[in-house]
Amino acid sequence: MERRHRLELFPERSVALLLFQSVRNAAALRSKAVAGALEGALINPAMIVDPFQILVAANKAVHLHKIGKMKTRTLYSEIIFSLSPNNNISDAFKKFGISDTDTAVLIVLVVDSDKTINLESIASQVEGQQVSLDELPQLTDTARVKKMYKITPQEEKIGTLLDSVVCRMSTKDVL
């Protein structure tokens, strides 16, 4: 149900994605995460077009973490920040992190590739239903994504929304 992906550039690390719907305790989860009591990045699935988007953010975060050049304080907050098309950290948390009233939550974990992770301990803390990542497209708010990433009408003709989103994520620090 959950998805696991090894990072080609950092083979000793893997990314795990868990998706939950009908979540009732988003507020509690959020405060736990902020306090550091919950392992993982809590992301708002409405802003996510495809798991690839998360993987790109995670890849960048792991890279920056490795060379000591993260802009935020933890690996997980860096993943959330990497999703943003701009360099405003608090804006990234607001738009891509979860809010107290959200009912869908995407949890991203970065683990060592050879270790088996105890997903149960994470899933048990969520008062909601774990669903397959295949449900993600239904949760995506395409209009909001287009607005956040400022996708131009010309762009839509030359590639997918995912292409545009990932492009902005990966090149935001060059401008």
- 68 belongs to the binding site for other proteins (CB under 8 A): no
Tell me the H-state helices in 11-141.
Answer: 26-35, 51-66, 75-83, 89-96, 119-123, 136-139
71 binds other proteins (CB under 8 A): no
Q: Which of residues 84-143 bind other proteins (CB under 8 A)?
A: none
User: Hey, which bits of the chain come out as E strands?
Assistant: 3-7, 10-21, 41-43, 105-112, 129-131
Cα of first residue to Cα of last residue in the chain, in angstroms, is: 38
Residue from 14, 49, 63, 143 in contact with other proteins (CB under 8 A): 63
For residue 154 the two structure tokens come to 């010309």
# binding residues, other proteins (CB under 8 A): 28
Under 8 Å between Cβ of 36 and 50: no
From the list 2, 7, 21, 140, which residue makes contact with other proteins (rule: CB under 8 A)? 7
| Binds other proteins by CB under 8 A, chosen from 8, 36, 115, 124 | 8
Q: Interface residues with other proteins (CB under 8 A)?
A: 5, 7-9, 52, 55-56, 59-60, 63, 67, 152-155, 157-159, 163-164, 166-168, 170-171, 173-175
